[in-house]
Amino acid sequence: MMMMLLTERCSHQLSKVQLAKDSYIRLSAEYEGGGCGCSVAVQMKVDERISEDECSVANGISFLMDKHSQAVLGDSVFELDFKDHLGYVLKTPNETLAYGIRLEQ
């Protein structure tokens, strides 16, 4: 089960986003690369919920993740931060998963 935590900076940044009543913030993850290495590309966009999505609410903001993205990122507690020079940063207690994430609306 997905659990999302927001830093104060992230919560402040997301409070500027106008979400419609039935809108959520979706986190999607894909492997990319090949050869000698691969990385995980994470996207964040405003979207609607479908029945198979996992949902987590943090600071009054609802986040979604589909089963494929959960398989890529694993079941964890995720922390979302925001840094002016990097954009959004997604972390677990053990590692930084992605940075430079932009919210697509």
- Residue 101 predicted with pLDDT over 80: yes
CATH H-level, domain 3-104: superfamily: HesB-like domain (2.60.300.12)
Task: Sketch the domain layout of the chain as residue ranges.
Answer: 3-104
Q: Specify the pLDDT at position 19.
A: 87
C-alpha to C-alpha distance for 32 and 41, rounded to whole angstroms: 7
DSSP SS3 for 11:
helix
| Claim: this prediction has a pTM higher than 0.75 | yes
- Torsion angle (degrees, nearest 10) of CA 87, 98, 66, 62: -40
Q: What is the pLDDT of residues 32-63, one digit of tens each?
A: 876 677 788 999 999 999 999 999 999 999 99
- DSSP secondary structure letters along 62-99: EEEE-HHHHHHH-S-EEEEEEETTTEEEEE-SS-EEEE
Q: What is the pLDDT of residues 56-75, one digit of tens each?
A: 999 999 999 999 999 999 88
Q: What is the pLDDT of residues 79-93, one digit of tens each?
A: 999 999 999 999 999
